[in-house]
Chain A
């Protein structure tokens, strides 16, 4: 025990997996009104991991941070009801259409302003799925990235404290360590996120929530939003339905029929 830390967890409001997602034809940004917004499932693992680290150390504080429209306050509240101590919500009309570069700039400024020893994120978002934000934040904050973690250990006996993670990439596993402050990202299933208790839901209403604008963060509005994005979508179309479509009932020869199909499509 010991080694109080300020742990910032970044969360994102995303369209519910089960709702239809589409781009707004006007500006090719995600039509957030077309889908129900929920906390990204992958972020709930990050919140849970932050809470576990907090509970294993004396006096640590978990700050939940989100950037998004006013409705994203629900996402913040969900994390608070799980047990986060404070919240920061960056909201500004100028942010609409921001790309990953601008988003990482704004989040980094907010993290610096609130103060941090450890930043925790989900490994990617389930809507954009770029998987770049943890690395971008490490770059902006100038701190180590110990990302893609399937297991996280904090050693507060060292000074500064050390984070050691089991890093899981497409190529294999590595054990990676870094001195704090640092950025970590966690993979799905690293833990079992807790459900908010009734007490937690009630307590969430009294937890301090800061709402910051770009001006509060000293970020120029012209450096964010759709107009400042370093990427642009030219066109978006619905994928056409698949052409061929045969469904048979197995009459005892389905294995042979599949093999025939594979041969006729040069797949065997």
Chain B
């Protein structure tokens, strides 16, 4: 069975859930081969729990932007002739995918929401135009390079003892940008917006910057990430990085709770593929209700505190 290369996302030795999702998809196409740059020993073990038959580890060269990973994947494609290369659909993951595609003259498909095999063909499902259209696509030249959106599938625990090999990262050719310093996002201990299973988002109806703490409280009660509509980030009530929408982050969590968000097309484009949507809004005519599985016409400043109390009550019960 052909290899499927999975580029592993990890932070300080912790493998991200989106990587475990990639392993589940890789197993449908071939033999999952995890590629780890600069990881620790526990990483390989974790990858094995989720079906990585082979783990290839390479030393990190953290000082140049994107290029070292591209060169590593290029060399692994040459030596292992994989059936596909799977990368998480983060902004940086898409840059890696794009450069690799040029390097190999191979087709790249981004933001897949599902990947499957049809004989020898890798079939990629994408959700385009803000989620209004479902597309099935395939790569017709070169090894398929696919970036997959977090939360597209559920990780599958399929424990194997992976074969671990160290691979030498090839020397990077040419001039590249150099990283002078790095800092992690201050998330207040919350999950990242694009990979969170639950997102609680606030809109203009929250009313004021200081009232956004209510959205954060609900998010924390559900171990959720915090999102915001463009009206909120434009008004400076919440950091721009939290903006969900056409010009912000696209999310597809298991649960999306829209609080005081009217649901303009700009916002819907970033969240309408969420599996379950709950909306709370004072205006019964708000378009967000067209999308909601469960909608509440009411004052979020009344409804959310009651919901938070109820969640605490039921968790305690």
Q: Which residues of A contact B (CB under 8 A)?
A: 17-18, 21-23, 28, 41-42, 99-101, 104, 123, 126-136, 138-140, 142-148, 164, 167-179, 182, 188-189, 229-239, 242-250, 253-259, 261-263, 265, 267-268
Q: Which chain A positions have C-beta within 8 A of B284?
A: 247, 249
B306 to chain A, nearest CB (A): 3
Return the contact of A236 from the options B133, B180, B296 (Cβ within 8 A): B133
**Closest chain A residue to B107 by CB distance?**
A230
A242 to B127, CA, bound (A): 15
A84 to B299, CA, bound (A): 48
The answer to whether B314 touches A131 (Cβ under 8 A) is no
B291 to chain A, nearest CB (A): 7
A135 to B94, CA, bound (A): 9
The verdict on B292 contacting chain A, using a C-beta distance below 8 Å, is: yes
The answer to whether B294 touches A258 (Cβ under 8 A) is yes
The answer to whether A99 touches B90 (Cβ under 8 A) is no
Return the contact of B304 from the options A138, A253, A255 (Cβ within 8 A): A255
The verdict on B55 contacting chain A, using a C-beta distance below 8 Å, is: no
The answer to whether A230 touches B304 (Cβ under 8 A) is no
Which of A129, A164, A189: most chain B Cβ within 10 A? A129
Q: Which chain A positions have C-beta within 8 A of B141?
A: 230
Return the contact of A171 from the options B184, B265, B269 (Cβ within 8 A): B184
Known A-B contacts A42-B247, A232-B140, A255-B309; the reply to A130 vs B94 at CB < 8 A is yes
Q: Which chain B positions have C-beta within 8 A of A267?
A: 198, 254-255, 276
Known A-B contacts A135-B98, A248-B297; the reply to A172 vs B184 at CB < 8 A is yes
Return the contact of A131 from the options B66, B95, B136, B180 (Cβ within 8 A): B95
Return the contact of A268 from the options B233, B248, B314 (Cβ within 8 A): B314
A189 to B276, CA, bound (A): 30
**Closest chain A residue to B270 by CB distance?**
A129
B70 to chain A, nearest CB (A): 8
B109 to chain A, nearest CB (A): 6
A256 to B247, CA, bound (A): 34
Known A-B contacts A130-B98, A176-B180, A236-B133; the reply to A261 vs B105 at CB < 8 A is no
The answer to whether A136 touches B175 (Cβ under 8 A) is no
The verdict on B155 contacting chain A, using a C-beta distance below 8 Å, is: no
Return the contact of B91 from the options A41, A170, A230, A244 (Cβ within 8 A): A170
A-B contact pairs, 20 of them (CB 8 A): A17-B246, A22-B133, A133-B98, A135-B99, A145-B65, A147-B65, A147-B95, A148-B91, A173-B185, A174-B181, A175-B180, A178-B176, A178-B177, A182-B177, A189-B240, A242-B277, A247-B296, A250-B296, A250-B303, A258-B294
**Closest chain A residue to B308 by CB distance?**
A255
Interface string of B267-284 (1 = CB under 8 A from A): 001000100111010001
Q: Which chain B positions have C-beta within 8 A of A174?
A: 65, 179-183
Return the contact of B142 from the options A17, A230, A234, A249 (Cβ within 8 A): A230
**Closest chain B residue to A99 by CB distance?**
B107
Q: Which chain A positions have C-beta within 8 A of B273?
A: 239
Q: Which chain A positions have C-beta within 8 A of B131?
A: 239
The verdict on B307 contacting chain A, using a C-beta distance below 8 Å, is: yes
B126 to chain A, nearest CB (A): 9
The verdict on B262 contacting chain A, using a C-beta distance below 8 Å, is: no
A261 to B277, CA, bound (A): 11
Q: Which chain A positions have C-beta within 8 A of B304?
A: 255
Q: Kindly identify, within residues 165 to 209 of chain B, every residue whose CB is under 8 Å from any CB belonging to chain A.
A: 174-185, 192-194, 198
Q: Kindly identify, within residues 100 to 119 of chain B, every residue whose CB is under 8 Å from any CB belonging to chain A.
A: 101-103, 105-111
Given contacts A100-B101, A144-B175, A178-B176, 17 further A-B contacts (CB under 8 A): A21-B132, A23-B135, A101-B102, A101-B108, A131-B94, A139-B98, A139-B99, A230-B141, A234-B138, A235-B135, A243-B293, A247-B295, A248-B294, A254-B307, A255-B305, A257-B296, A259-B311
The answer to whether B136 touches A136 (Cβ under 8 A) is no
A146 to B95, CA, bound (A): 11
The answer to whether B178 touches A176 (Cβ under 8 A) is yes
A202 to B159, CA, bound (A): 68
The verdict on B241 contacting chain A, using a C-beta distance below 8 Å, is: yes
Return the contact of B95 from the options A22, A132, A172 (Cβ within 8 A): A132
The verdict on B123 contacting chain A, using a C-beta distance below 8 Å, is: yes
Q: Which chain A positions have C-beta within 8 A of B293?
A: 242-246, 261
The verdict on B134 contacting chain A, using a C-beta distance below 8 Å, is: yes
Q: Which 8 A-B pairs have the closest CB atoms?
A: A255-B306, A250-B298, A132-B98, A230-B107, A247-B295, A255-B307, A135-B95, A178-B177
Return the contact of A175 from the options B102, B179, B185, B222 (Cβ within 8 A): B179
Which of A21, A42, A133, A134: most chain B Cβ within 10 A? A21
**Closest chain B residue to A260 by CB distance?**
B310
Known A-B contacts A188-B247, A254-B306; the reply to A145 vs B109 at CB < 8 A is no
